[in-house]
């Protein structure tokens, strides 16, 4: 497998413009996570999905941020309108739950994409 | 709320030295702890995952230990090399409920000098 694939790798946009970040998780992984990394705050979870359903979006900073997962192999994170303080590196990650258990456990590795470096000027 | 702390924030060592990176977490109810490496401008590469029932995991020159009751993990790097220079991050996955997110520390920036 090619790993988690994110696009674009770099995005420079003007304040007020719409930005869409894309992610293709590893095939067979049940969970998909969107993280944001800044120098000040480190890695913060924005939202995560289980089987394409959003489970926890408490980290989404504002209504300007939205995320979708229309199918198991694709997710988007959209910022509209973008602001300079949104400048950061955005990571997508995926992991699968343990198999064969009644209650799912998460004793599996999470794998990250290469990230999208977003600059809003 | 789970908080993860990594000390030191930065570490510089000469090549060949053995070193230890530290990670502590406030809530011991975890499924596992994962160590990552991040090179400048790159994504996170998984190094080791240690489950809550385990005390140690080894991969090559890396050895991770976990003391869940005290909320601590260490990553031991033997015979360090300049290629080990990177930021090392630890992350925990909380157990119980259905929240499977990883909570990260802010990392330790390691520089191995030739």
CA A20 to chain CA mean position, Å: 11
B102 CB near a chain A CB, below 8 Å? yes
A17: closest CA of chain B, how far (Å): 24
What averages of pLDDT result for each successive group of 10 residues across chain A (121 residues)? 92 97 95 95 94 92 94 96 97 84 69 96 97
> Which residues on B lie below 8 Å from A111 (Cβ)?
46
Q: Which of A62, A94, A93 is nearest to A78 (CA)?
A: A62
The Cα–Cα gap between A91 and A113 comes to 6
Inter-residue contact A90 to A120 (CB < 8 Å):
no
pLDDT at A2: 80
Check CB contact under 8 Å for A93 and B51: no
Which of A24, A50, A112 should be substituted to probe chain B, the one whose Cβ sees the most B Cβ atoms within 10 Å? A112
For residues B59-90, b (16+ Cβ closer than 10 Å) or e, as one string?
Answer: eeebbbbbebeebbbbbebeebeeebbbbbbb
Beta strands, E only, B15-85: 19-25, 30-38, 44-51, 56-59, 62-67, 72-77
pLDDT tens for B9-44 read 999 999 999 999 999 999 988 889 999 999 998 999
Q: What is the pLDDT of residue A108?
A: 83
């Amino acid at each position: 497998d090619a790993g988690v694939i994110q696009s674009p790798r770099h995005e420079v946009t003007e304040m007020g413009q719409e930005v869409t970040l894309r992610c293709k998780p590893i095939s067979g992984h049940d969970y998909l996570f969107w993280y944001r990394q800044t120098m000040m705050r480190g890695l913060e979870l924005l939202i995560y999905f289980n089987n394409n359903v959003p489970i926890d979006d408490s980290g989404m900073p504002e209504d300007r941020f939205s995320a979708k997962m229309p199918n198991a192999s694709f997710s988007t994170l959209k910022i509209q309108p973008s602001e300079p303080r949104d400048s950061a590196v955005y990571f997508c990650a995926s992991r699968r739950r343990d198999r064969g258990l009644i209650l799912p456990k998460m004793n599996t590795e999470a794998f990250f994409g290469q990230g999208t470096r977003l600059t809003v000027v | 709320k789970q908080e993860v702390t990594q000390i030191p924030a930065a570490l510089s060592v000469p090549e060949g030295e053995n070193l230890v990176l530290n990670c502590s977490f406030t809530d011991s109810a975890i499924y596992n702890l994962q160590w990552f490496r991040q090179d400048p401008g790159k994504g996170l590469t998984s190094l080791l995952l240690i489950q809550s029932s385990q005390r140690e995991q080894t991969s090559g020159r890396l050895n991770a230990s976990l003391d869940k009751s005290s909320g601590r993990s260490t990553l031991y790097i033997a015979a360090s090399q300049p290629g080990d220079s990177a930021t090392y991050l630890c992350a925990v996955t909380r157990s119980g409920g259905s929240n499977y997110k990883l909570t990260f520390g802010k990392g330790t920036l390691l520089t191995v000098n030739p």
